[in-house]
Amino acid sequence: MKTADVIVSFRGVRKTYDGETLVVKHLDLDIYQGEFLTLLGPSGSGKTTCLMMLAGFEFPTGGDIWLDGTLLNTVPPHKRNIGMVFQNYALFPHLTVEQNVAYPLSVRKLAAAERAQRVNQALTTVRMESFAKRYPAQLSGGQQQRIALARALVFEPKLVLMDEPLGALDKQLREHMQYELKSLHEKLGVTFVYVTHDQGEALTMSDRVAVFDKGIVQQLDTVDRLYESPCNEFVANFIGDSNRLRGTIAQVDGDFCEFHLVDGTRLVGRNIGGAQAGTAAVACIRPERMKLAADGSRPGANALAGEARGLIYFGDHVRMRCGLPQQDECFVKVPLGTEAIERFAPGAPVALEFAPEHLRVFA
């Protein structure tokens, strides 16, 4: 984050479309000047509804939305000074690139000379100045995305909203555009609010991420803390990959607990939420935090016994599928070149180990 100044505040915001079901249940959220904030969650979680309320295309059922000290609840979209990039880009097919980018300036009745100067500057910013005379149909998906972004930036808005703008692009171009957007954000210093259901996009670009589920922000944090310190089982499973182990909290020792699996295996992990002994729980551990044990497990490490089920090649690493007694199948991330992995044909016994601090136990 560039600064601690708050530019957007949601206070007690609720939204229902049918008068009964709350799509957004009670949102308190501050967005900081100059940050890249991503609203992340599955379909129907409320993230896009929040973006649409901030843009002015939807209005809150209850609560207040503030932009730079101004209450937005009844302000129409064209008076909010907010740039918007839609998933389908929403470019006018009968207008050239420069005419599309100039449209917000024409609506604001800027003089022709200033319009031309701003359009050229916006197109240069997204490296599309040589395409000014073309029409949208003559552009690739990535080029159209750049034009939509230039149009959102041309009138120097207070913030830019993006509703899954990379969803229609192929994987390689989508990943390239993620880096382009992050670089542009760092260059301009404008506040970006970005909606996606793709956790890879969120981790790649964001300063902070708000993880939505069932109309509630489950966790709002920096990307490293979201990944390493998820606050509940939903976040742990939605952000990155996690292995899940079912069992019961046997005893509690400060921030840690002894966790007994269904087959009697005893593990130690972090007791997230402070659950009491005797509570049924699910423990989560990242695949890269699990290791193939050597002849003997290291002192203080958790150990699991299972069997190999197969190998999945990922290019820079291999993932081993492992079966565990009375548990779901788990995955272990193994670096390429690990000699021991060649011994593990399907059905071969495996021993896994991991440090207690990386096992997070959720009641």
Question: Based on the structure, what is the number of domains in the chain?
Answer: 2
Give pLDDT, residue 2: 41
Sheet holding 159-163, edge to edge: 82-85, 159-163, 191-196, 36-40, 208-213, 216-222
User: Of 234, 249, 270, which residue constitutes the final position of a domain?
Assistant: 234
Give pLDDT, residue 313: 84
Summarize pLDDT for 176-208 with one digit per residue, the tens: 889 989 998 998 899 999 999 999 999 999 999
User: Of 205, 234, 263, which residue constitutes the final position of a domain?
Assistant: 234
Contact assessment for residue 327 and residue 254, using Cβ atoms and an 8 Å cutoff: no
User: Of 181, 207, 234, which residue constitutes the final position of a domain?
Assistant: 234
Q: Are residues 183 and 36 in the same domain?
A: yes
Contact assessment for residue 36 and residue 196, using Cβ atoms and an 8 Å cutoff: no
Q: Are residues 296 and 345 in the same domain?
A: yes
Residue 134: CATH number of its domain: 3.40.50.300
Give pLDDT, residue 130: 93
Q: Are residues 260 and 208 in the same domain?
A: no
**Residue 213, phi then psi, degrees to nearest 5:** -155, 130
Task: Give the residues of the chain that fall short of pLDDT 70.
Answer: 1-4, 294-300, 338-340
Tell me, yes or no, whether 1 lies in a domain.
Answer: no
Q: Are residues 228 and 247 in the same domain?
A: no
Summarize pLDDT for 18-44 with one digit per residue, the tens: 999 999 999 999 999 999 999 999 999
Tell me, yes or no, whether 131 lies in a domain.
Answer: yes
DSSP string, 258-318: EEEETTS-EEEEEEET-PPTT-EEEEEE-GGG-EE--SSPPTT-EEEEEEEEEEEE-SSEE
Tell me, yes or no, whether 203 lies in a domain.
Answer: yes
Q: Are residues 213 and 322 in the same domain?
A: no
Give pLDDT, residue 141: 86
Q: Are residues 230 and 357 in the same domain?
A: no
Q: Are residues 246 and 228 in the same domain?
A: no
Give pLDDT, residue 315: 79
Q: Are residues 72 and 179 in the same domain?
A: yes
Tell me, yes or no, whether 219 lies in a domain.
Answer: yes
The domain of 131 spans 6-234
Q: Are residues 75 and 104 in the same domain?
A: yes
pTM score = 0.89
Please, which residues bridge with residue 302 across strands? 354
Q: Single out the residue of 54, 55, 9 nearest to residue 32, CA to CA.
A: 9
Residue 247: CATH number of its domain: 2.40.50.100
Give pLDDT, residue 103: 93
Can you tell me the distance from the alpha carbon of 176 to that of 170, in angstroms, rounded to the nearest whole number? 10
Give pLDDT, residue 65: 97
Give pLDDT, residue 1: 39
Give pLDDT, residue 347: 87
Tell me, yes or no, whether 249 lies in a domain.
Answer: yes
Can you tell me the distance from the alpha carbon of 208 to that of 32, in angstroms, rounded to the nearest whole number? 10
Give pLDDT, residue 3: 43
| Strands 256-261, 243-253: pairing kind | antiparallel
Q: Are residues 188 and 70 in the same domain?
A: yes
Tell me, yes or no, whether 18 lies in a domain.
Answer: yes
Q: Are residues 290 and 218 in the same domain?
A: no
Give pLDDT, residue 298: 62
Sequence-distant (≥ 6) Cβ neighbours of residue 112 within 8 angstroms: none
Tell me, yes or no, whether 35 lies in a domain.
Answer: yes
Q: Are residues 268 and 208 in the same domain?
A: no
Give pLDDT, residue 87: 83
